[in-house]
Structures are given as structure tokens and as C-alpha cells.
Structure 1
């Protein structure tokens, strides 16, 4: 099995490598600084020494003498010993060395650092003399007597050997080794502490384990069909997968933004942020989609870390529920009519058994007249067959719950296009269902429906004898998922919200006001020429 160092070991190794690089850089900087200091300080000194020797009368007088080597040998050796330099050399005007602390150079040509030195100019710099690199100063010897005044008599060169690398390090600072040692110990201690801290923050996991965990998380989050949104305690989005971003219509750079910055408001924001506990099957409408949300708070060691919310798209399911709702309404109508007919037959049977035949005839005539009156009223005032049938079904259901459903005398509705009829039926059905629910709790309960139509608009007014709507909830009842019923909030909390969306899609609005008798809902919408594109959930049924 291949050995893999631990996270702490890797961090320590990297820190040591970094420290080593720093130490090398510090050493190189110290060497460079020492070389610059040596060149500046020693360069000035050798130039001053060379100028002093060049102006010495003995050098001027003996430079051209036949015995100049013997006469100057003592002088150059003395100057070398007194000044502590590496070499002292004297050459004549032709550049031939006549005396030097290095006997090998006597009689050889003096190496010039610059061609101008041979013409009587001074120069200082670095030269390699006899295999040794020296910092040298070359100064001309100028005649001062009447016979050779101003004449270039020769050249004096004084050199100082350049120190080695170790000598420069030692010369840079006598405490450099101590400083580097202390820095190394501090670096080792810091690396060890940093490794321990990171180890604690990663819960003891090694790099390959962290990488594997990240890969598994990515595969899980982006491989599931449900949307996932994670928030921190400061309402910032810390994680969102692609399905959630598509369902909530979030920008690609939403991670790190707050909910307000990401454009999430209203009921959706309330569900995502509710810290009162877990949220189960909360229904929210978002950009024409019916979403089902489940939120769970995340805590560790008693500290709240944020929350994770999963989202499911129930738009198609809501459409199927609407279709099933139409069949359910038909079934309810048939059941209510069967119950009503059974009671009427029992009454007729009882009258026959007691011999009240005349009363049977009058009872049957009354039932027939009431039925014909209701049918004629609906047919005369509501010409659209679908709406008329819907009101007949709702009347039977309301009667079973001892609620009278009546049609306003001002009602007048002509035939509508199929799409217009479907949207009007959705609004009427939702409003009547809510009105019957509100009125059923009282005595002498009733619900009145009024339908009015002009050239382009249909107005729907539904009034009930219920307790009304609290003023502070007049707008909230149309919020996504709001319901005043304690049971089945997830299924019944979208009816009025969808009703409002249908009205807005058709350029209208819905409002609620309280009257002396109860609540009155007024909805308006444009028919014939819809104001917007078809809403994918605009015709979805449901109850508020």
C-alpha cells in the first residue's frame, strides 16, 4: 500500500520548505548586502591608500632609477603591513611592474582595469590577479619636480582580496546564526500549531477523505431531481443545486448572497427562514410553479448552523388535481342529488302510506316547480353552459351543508370562449367553495353569487353570511399557501393565491371587503383577449 503522509505531516513539510526558502533568501540578501558594503567601504580605503603612496616623494624619485626595485621593495612591504591590504604594486610609465609584494609580478605588465589608466587616469574596481579576485585601486604617479612636473611617471595599485561567502555571512552579522536559529524554531512551532488547528477544523479527516466527501456531495446534490437550498444563520445562501436554482429562478452567482439580494421575498422567504422548527410539506407559488418545501434546521453541539430545504415541483400534480376535481365535483353533485331524491322519495312514500294522495300531488308539483324555476333562472341569466352547470353542482353541495346558494338578480353572463370559460369557472369555483366553508358554521347560512359582463370584462362577486375576514388579513389571504383552516393547509392553501394569479394574468385583480353580513370577494378579469401568456398553474384548483 502506498504511503500517504497525514495532513499535519504535509503542512509541516510545506512549512519547512517555505522556511528553508526564506532562510536561503535571507542568506543571499545578507551576502549581497555584505558585498555592497565591502565594495563601498574598502573601495574608498584602497583608493586613499593608493593616492598616499603615489604622492610619496620616494616613489616619485626612485620610479625611474635603475635600482628602483630594491629602493621601493621596503616601502611597498611596509605599506602592505601597516595598511593590512593584500597587495601593493608599483609600475613605471610603460606599465611594467618595478616593485610588488608579490615577487612573481616584478617585470611583468601591470593589468589595467581601464585603458585610460595607461594615460594617467585613476580607476578602482575588481580584478583577478594571479588567480585571486581583488578589489583594487590604480592611481597614477605624477612628477612634482621642475624637471618632470606633471609628467606621468607610473602607476600605483593597491588591492584587497574579496571575502568568501562564509566570510561575508560572518561579516554581515555576528548574530545571524542565532537569528536564523530562532526563526527556525518559531517556524517549526507555528507549523505544528497550524497543522493541529486545521486538523481540528477538518474533524480529523485527511485530504483524500475531504476530497472524497466533496465528490460524493457533488454527486448527491446534482444527481437528485429535488432542489436543495442551504442557508447559514445570517440568511446567506451557502449551497444550491441546479434543480433548486431552476425552480426558484435564482441567478448563477446566488451562492453567498442573502435571500433579499437573490430576490426571494414573501411567503417563500418566510418558509425558508422560519426558525420555529421543521417545516413539512409547505406549499409555495414561485413564478407560476407550485412548489412543496420541507425545511430542517441544522445544529451541532447546541449551536445552530443554518437550515437545509428541499423543494419539489408540484405544478403538474396540481393540474392533475384540477382535472380530478372536476370529476370529484360531478360525483359530489350526483351524490348530493341522490341524497336529495332519496329524501323526497321517502316523503312521497310516507304520504302515500298515510293516504294523503292530494298532498302527494301538491308536493310533487312544488318540487317540479322549484327545479324548473332554478333551471330557468340559471339558463336565463348564465348562458355559458359550463358556468351554469358548475353553479348547479355548487348549489346542490351547499344545500347538503344547509347553505343556500342564490344567484343575484343583477347576474348576466353570455357565452364565453372555452379558455375564458375555464378560467372564470376556476375563479367562481374557488370563491364559492371558500364562501360555503365560511358560511356553513352559522344558522340561516347563505352565499350569493353575482356575475356581470361587459364587452371585455367579467366581474365576479361572491358574498357570504360568514364571520368575515380580519382587516389585517385582507391582503394576506391571497398570499401563497395562506389558509385560515387548521387542517390540510398544504392542500388547501393555494386556492385564493391561484385565483389571484388567474385574475392578474388576465389583467384584473381580486379584493375582499367586509359587509354587515359577512365577507365579499370581488374578482375582475379580461375575457376574449387575455392580458398575458397562459399560466401553467392558472387553472389549477384548490381551496384556501
Structure 2
């Protein structure tokens, strides 16, 4: 399945997303906080002006000067000194008529207060207002001046120009803007780092590539005939394909095993051991509630650390059947090859005689071959009723002649056609391997003869294969059916092992009669139902 390539990479998308979230968050924060900071800054300046006005209003010098106990000219230098110390724009003291007793511009002293917002202060109220005076728009804090006896004698106005207020607010906001910018920079750097980290964790793959690999992996796991089971480092099953579930169901393990501990589902598994040792175990047999499985368990490593294990397994019966089928096919192929080789040899003889114009001898040779072939085919077809086995025996006879040996069937041999044609394959496996073993035994003997006899009686067939070989000693008799045991070199010793396995499946028996220097006879007996009897 093909997936379209995304317009942006995962790293770009994550960077843009994180940066967008950070920028949006900081913008909202700026909107919410900046106004609050501006209001707080303005309120602090208003409180500052109010506190200064209160201090001036409660100063004895000012109270006494307005009450006529001092010269009112003393107010101007005091107010200017307060203005300079507190860094405000003006400190104006007025009498009850609104006449200024102090002002930053001395020429304005003695003149009426400008702005029109002083009226409430002269009525005994304290407040803050914004108004335009001789110095421009300003924030003004008004406080009434009252004598100790409770008589109001004037008012104080402390002002801060709104330009200065706005400048203070702007400075407060500048700190927020710097913080927002720094936060955005950190967000961008963090987004890039996070995107690269996630990209590294995902092995540099894009999401569409991961999705494609996941679909391919799922299809692959479900298509294989081997059961596949994976566990994590805590021995919990993380994956089980359809073949694994089928084998589990066959063994009586029902339900989805994913998420369960592997020892709870597969009691005899060696996956836990592989997880602990980190060493693979290959071609091991596992008995799962009566079903024998052939398993391979391999540990999983990520960055050099064990993160789990994966096991593949298959029913040993299926593997055995495949091996035996392959062996049977090889036996058939070898028999056909021998027949073809023998036929080519005869054609070459005929061709040579034609070239030499030995027509009389050629006629006799062809008649002899035809007679021999007819005799063999006629004899075998009369005594061996299954055509597959009959053809196979003919092939083995040709192969025996090819290697310089003689394969002889007893005159009284007989085998009816089976009711179950499938068992002929097992009989071919048994017969073929016994004959091959006999041919190997007589290869160095002066008399190279193998006698074969089939007999059938009361639902049992007896197959006897005898050779004129050197015989088998008692020690070899005990090991002759062991897989891989052979005196003929490496990669041998499978034929008689497969014979034994086929006979076990057919409930048959095999007996060895042999003495050293006297040849060997294999006698096989197994249940056999004739097709004629079933009808």
C-alpha cells in the first residue's frame, strides 16, 4: 500500500505546533497581565501622590500658614522641597478660595488653581482625578488641609504628568514583553529539541512511514504459518499472531493472551530464561498440553538493553509430515531418474547397433528388452495392485541394475490396493529407504542381491527386505534408528529414522534379523485395509 508524502515533516509540524501553543499562551498572558500591571502601576502612582498630599496636608507649617499663624510665603519653599524629594511634577497648596500658595512656577503663586477639579477637595473630600493644568494633563491627588480643631483651611494637590504615568506603565509592560520574548525563544528551542528527540525515538521515520510499516508488519505476521509470540521485559505478552492463536486454541488455551504473563499461558516456555540470559535458544521442543512444538526464542535488544523476547513455533507433526513428504518425493524422483537413465542407456545401445548395421542382433536385443520389461511390468502389476507403489518398485529395480545390483521380488508376493490411498506414501517411504539401505550395504560385496517380499493376510501386510551385505552387529542394531546415526559419514542416518517415524504413525513394527557376515533382513508388519474388503 502506498501512502502520500506529507507536506510537512513531523519535526516541522511539532516545532510549529509547540511554537504556536507557546506564542498563544504568552499572548493571552500578555493581554491578561499587561492591563493588570498597567492598572497597578497607575494605582501605585496615585497612591504615591495621595500619600505625599497627606504628608503636606498634615504638616504644621502648612496648617499654621493657612490659619494665619505664619506667613503663607513659607509654604512655597517647603512645597518645592517636598516636590524635589518625592520626584513629582507639582505640589500645590491652596486656601479655601482656591488661590495657590505654592507652585513649581513661582509666577503662578497667588493665582487661582487651574483645572476645575479642586472643588470637592475644598469641601473636605480626598480623591484622585485627571485634569489639564498649567503644566499639562496630569494625575492629581487632592487632600483637604484641616486644623487640629477640625476647621478646613485649604487643600493640597500633588500632581504627576500623565506622560510620566504612561512612561512608567510602558516600562512595566516592557518587562512583560521581554519575558514573553524570552519565553517564546525558550519555547522554540524546546520545540526543536523535543521534535528531534521524538524523531530519534521513532528511528527517523515519519508517521505515514510508521503507519505503512505497521500495516506491512501486521499483514506479514498474519500471513506466516509459524506462530509468533512476543513478550516485553516484564514477561507480558505483547503480540500473538493468528497462527499462534490457532495453536493455542488447539492446545486448549482460549482467549486473547495479549497482556497476560507468558508463564500463565505457556507454562513450559523458555522465553523467561532467554529474557534473563539474553541468549537465543533454537530448534527446541516444547510440549504444550499434549502438542509438541518446535520453537526458536530470540532476545530483543534496543540500544544494547534487553527489552523482551520473541518466539516462533510450529506444530512438530506438521514439520515431520513435510519432511517425510519431501523424503517421499525424493524417493520418487530417484526412481524415475534411474528408469530414465536405464532407458537412455538402452537407446544408446540401439543407436550404436543401428549405426553398425547389426540389424539381426538389434532385433534380438529389442525383443529381449521388451520381453524383460513385459515380464517385470506384468509380474509387478499382477502382484502389486497399487499403481503408485508398482511404478515405484519398477523404478527401484532399474536403479538397482544401474548400480550393479539385483532387486528380486518373491514369486508369491502380493499386495492388494489399499482402502486409504494416503498410506501408500508411507509405504513408499518405508520400502524406498529399506531398499536404499540394502543397496548401500551390498555395494562392496561380490554378490549384490536384494530380495523383497510383500504378503497380506488378515488386515496386516508383511514387508521383508533382505540383502547379501556384511550384516549388522548388536551395538549398531540398538542405534540404527537414531536420527543422524550412520557409518557412512556426516549428513546421513535419516533413512531408517524416517522409516521408524512412518511406522509409528501407522502403528507398524519393524524387526531386524542380522548376523555379521550373513546379510541382513528387515521385517516390517503394519495394519492394512484392502479396498476390495471395504467394498
- TM-score (norm: length of structure 1): 0.41
| Structure (1 or 2) with the larger CA radius of gyration | 2
